[in-house]
Structure 1
Amino acid sequence: MKIGELAKRTGLTASAIRFYESKGLLKSVDRLANGYREYPPEAAAILAIIINAQQTGFTLDEIKGVLPTNAAGWHHAELMATLRNKLADIEAMERRLANNKAHLLSLIELIESKPEGMACEDNAVRVMDQVGLQPGKKNRG
């Protein structure tokens, strides 16, 4: 199939398809006599795998490392190790994000608990004191 049809099937632009090909993620394709690329039927499936892997956080180099040259070429142990490593990365990121969220929520609560009648400037000093920052001083944390 030509690049236009592959683009329609995958929802990618022709330039994105050429980019993945240039990065070695899509195996070299045959050229017709007129110079047009001729993609094999499995190209759409390979591109779907690439896009899905990117959406789950894999880098192009990580994808290239486990992407087989054909459907029968998957290296099971290597693929499973890569998937488990990425899952561990995502779980670590989730923990960091949960900690960041908790920190932000407590900061919001602290700021919003401004005593009635307190000037915003004084509240800023109060908040910075409570979170360990001193106005006009460098934080050494």
Structure 2
Amino acid sequence: MKIGELAKRSGMAASAIRFYESRGLLPLASRQTNGYRDYPPEALAVLAIIRDAQQAGFSLAEIKQILPADITAWQHDALLATLRRKVAEIEALQARLAQNKAHIQSLIALIDARPQDMDCKHNAARVMASLGIAGDKQAG
């Protein structure tokens, strides 16, 4: 199939397809006598894998490492190891994000607990003191 049809069927821009091809993620298309690229039907599956892997957080380099030259010849153990590593990375990121969220929520609660008769400058000093920070910055 020509690149226009592949682009339409995959939902990707032709430029993205050419980019993936240039990076070695998509096997080089054969050329017709008129110079047009001719992609095999498997190219559609490869593009779907690339898209799904990117959405799952894989970099193009990671995708290239696990994507076999022949789409029907996956390296089972290597693929599972890579997928398990990505799950561990996602879990670590989730833990860091949960910590960041908790810290920010604590900070919001601390700032929001300003006594009604306290102005912003004094509340900022109170917050800074609670955090163990000396300073004269203003926060409302």
TM-score by length of 2: 0.94
In structure 2, the residue matched to 1:139 is: none
Post-superposition offset of 1:113: 0.5
Which amino acid is the alignment partner of residue 44 of structure 1? Answer: L
The residue identity in structure 2 corresponding to 1:33 is T
Which AA in structure 2 matches 1:133?
I
Q: Which residue identity does 1:119 align to in structure 2?
A: D
Structure 1 position 114 matched with structure 2 position 114: yes
Distance (Å, rounded) in 2 between the aligned partners of 1:48 and 1:95: 29
CA distance, structure 2, for counterparts of residue 71 and residue 135 of structure 1: 60
Partners of 1:44 and 1:94 lie apart in 2 by 32
* Cα displacement (A) at 1:69: 1.3
In the TM superposition, what is the alpha-carbon distance from 1:133 to its structure 2 partner? 1.6
Paired positions, count = 136
* 1:80 match: 80
Give, in whole Å, the separation in 2 of the partners of 1:100 and 1:74.
Answer: 38
Matched position secondary structure for 1:72: coil
Gaps (5+ residues) in structure 1?
A: 137-141
**1:1-141 to 2 correspondence within 5 Å?**
1-135=1-135
Q: Residues 3 and 37 of structure 2 are in contact (CA less than 8 Å); yes or no, is this contact kept in structure 1?
A: yes
CA-to-partner distance for each residue in 1:26-81, whole Å, 9 max, x for gaps? 00110111111111101111001001101111111110001011232100000000
CA contact (8 A) 2:6 2:44 kept: yes
Q: CA deviation at 1:132?
A: 2.0
Corresponding letter in the other structure for 2:37:
R
Whole-angstrom CA distance in 2 between matches of 1:33 and 1:133: 72
1:81 alignment partner AA: A
Cα RMSD after superposing both structures = 0.9
Paired with 1:125 and 1:44, the residues of 2 have a C-alpha distance of 60
